[in-house]
């Protein structure tokens, strides 16, 4: 039996109406879902693997359960980048600041990039076990020439633009992961200082403990409670303290008092008093000072001086002449079972 032309046209018309209705339902349902999706999830770009300014793609990350980040406090979400957020919880971060001549009179573009490449090599050698280097930067650093190629080559490097946080002094940018709920442990470090096995042994001792904070002093002139490039914190052990540090860093009226080299003053005033109840300190020279009490020796003996192994926090090329810049460490600061470690 053949259908009449009118019947065929009518069927097509009804099909068109049904399809239009179905598409409208899907459209409004999508709007409804988006409208009630938490801000943290809405802000994630669909194509997180490529920055808008880049032509290359980053490594694909494991699928993230968005429920894990849906309940993040709005002011503590997206503290770095889409890609960093997509990594999800339990991140272990090595954090540095990288900024230009306005705040850093000694800034030299090529030298800073050289330091950065050496630091990335150090991370791959000393911290190869899922540590991520976060670089907090201003617009001095070129996206297309520097950020894109470095991120696409290195799955363990995230650049974090500070253009929306320029009220925070640049040396304090590197402290921001201390207030990130997605971070298990953060290590604040200097761009121009090498990472060493001696440092890693001290960090491992801290991570094996139940202490929230870590600090190191490895030179007679490290005469402050906490050095900006030699401390660490475990947000996952103390979320309340993590929120407190986050709020202190983002308090516009107070954080600006710590500009220039005020990062260590910020730590001494705002962090150190809170850290005393749960901190491990490794100290090779100043263990008898008031802030050195309850510190402990480094777990490894100081190696022979060279371009890397000089003291933790040294500026490259460190002891390139093969000579230590100080004498023997005090007997009180040596391990009790190794009093012969005159260079401890």
Would you place residue 40 in the very low, low, confident or very high pLDDT band (cuts 50, 70, 90)?
very low
For 162-283, strand residue ranges (E) read 183-188, 213-217, 231-233, 279-283
309 and 303 in contact (C-beta within 8 Å)?
A: yes
> Mean pLDDT, to the nearest integer, of 147-165?
97
Distance spanning both ends of the chain, measured CA to CA = 99
Give the separation between CA 198 and CA 326, rounded to whole angstroms. Answer: 17
- Burial label for 244, CB within 10 Å (0-12, 13-18, 19+), is middle
Span of 2-6, 144-148, 158-162 with lowest mean pLDDT: 2-6
CA dist list (Å): 38 to 34, 75, 85, 90, 316: 8, 13, 14, 21, 45
Would you place residue 107 in the very low, low, confident or very high pLDDT band (cuts 50, 70, 90)?
confident
> Mean pLDDT, to the nearest integer, of 147-156?
97
Note the Cα 73 to chain centre separation in Å: 18
> Mean pLDDT, to the nearest integer, of 201-225?
98
- Fold annotation for 76-333: Spore Coat Polysaccharide Biosynthesis Protein SpsA; Chain A (3.90.550)
For residue range 289-302, list pLDDT tens digits in order.
999 889 999 999 99
Phi, psi for residue 188 in degrees, rounded to 5: -90, 125
Note the pLDDT of residue 45.
Answer: 54
Where does residue 123 fall: left (phi above 0), alpha (psi -120 to 50 degrees), or beta otherwise?
alpha
Reply yes or no on whether the pLDDT at 46 is more than 70: no
> Mean pLDDT, to the nearest integer, of 40-59?
77
Residue 10, classed as helix, strand or coil, is: helix
| Half-sphere exposure (Cβ direction) of 104: Cα atoms closer than 13 Å | 17
Phi, psi for residue 159 in degrees, rounded to 5: -90, 135
Would you place residue 101 in the very low, low, confident or very high pLDDT band (cuts 50, 70, 90)?
confident
Other residues' Cβ atoms within 10 Å of the Cβ of residue 80: 25
Reply yes or no on whether the pLDDT at 7 is more than 80: no
Angle subtended by helix axes 197-207 and 109-126, to nearest 10? 60
Note the pLDDT of residue 19.
Answer: 59
> Mean pLDDT for the chain?
88
Note the pLDDT of residue 73.
Answer: 78
Note the pLDDT of residue 15.
Answer: 53
Note the pLDDT of residue 304.
Answer: 85
Share of the chain above pLDDT 90, in %: 71
Give the separation between CA 194 and CA 205, rounded to whole angstroms. Answer: 19
Would you place residue 13 in the very low, low, confident or very high pLDDT band (cuts 50, 70, 90)?
very low
For residue range 295-342, list pLDDT tens digits in order.
999 999 998 888 777 899 999 989 888 888 999 999 999 999 999 999
């Amino acid at each position: 039996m053949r259908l009449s032309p009118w019947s065929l046209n009518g069927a097509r018309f009804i099909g068109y109406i049904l399809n239009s209705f179905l598409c409208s339902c899907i459209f409004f349902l999508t709007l409804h879902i988006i409208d009630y999706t938490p801000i943290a999830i809405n802000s994630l770009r669909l194509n997180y693997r490529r920055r808008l300014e880049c032509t290359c793609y980053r490594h694909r990350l494991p699928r993230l359960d968005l429920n894990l980040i849906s309940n993040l406090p709005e002011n503590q979400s997206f503290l770095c980048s889409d890609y960093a957020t997509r990594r999800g919880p339990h991140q272990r971060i090595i954090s540095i600041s990288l900024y230009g001549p306005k705040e850093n009179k000694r800034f030299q573009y090529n030298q800073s990039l050289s330091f950065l490449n050496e630091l990335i090599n150090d991370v791959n050698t000393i911290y190869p076990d899922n540590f991520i280097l976060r670089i907090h930067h201003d617009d001095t650093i070129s996206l297309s020439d520097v950020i894109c190629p470095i991120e696409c080559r290195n799955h363990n490097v995230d650049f974090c633009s500070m253009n929306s946080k320029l009220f925070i002094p640049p040396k304090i940018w590197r402290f921001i992961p201390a207030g990130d709920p997605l971070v298990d442990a953060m290590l604040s470090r200097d761009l121009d200082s090498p990472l060493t096995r001696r440092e890693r042994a001290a960090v491992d001792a801290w991570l094996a403990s139940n202490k929230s904070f870590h600090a190191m002093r490895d030179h007679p002139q490290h005469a402050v409670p906490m050095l900006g490039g030699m401390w660490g914190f475990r947000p996952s052990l103390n979320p309340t303290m993590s929120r407190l540090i986050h709020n202190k860093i983002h308090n516009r009226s107070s954080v600006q008092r710590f500009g220039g080299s005020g990062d260590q003053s910020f730590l001494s005033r705002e962090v150190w008093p809170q850290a005393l109840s749960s901190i491990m300190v490794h100290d090779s020279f100043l263990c008898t000072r008031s802030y050195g009490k309850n510190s402990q020796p480094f777990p490894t003996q100081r190696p022979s001086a060279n371009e890397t192994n000089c003291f933790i926090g040294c500026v490259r090329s460190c002891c390139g002449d093969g000579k230590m810049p100080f004498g023997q460490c005090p007997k009180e600061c040596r391990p009790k079972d190794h009093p012969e470690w005159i260079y401890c």
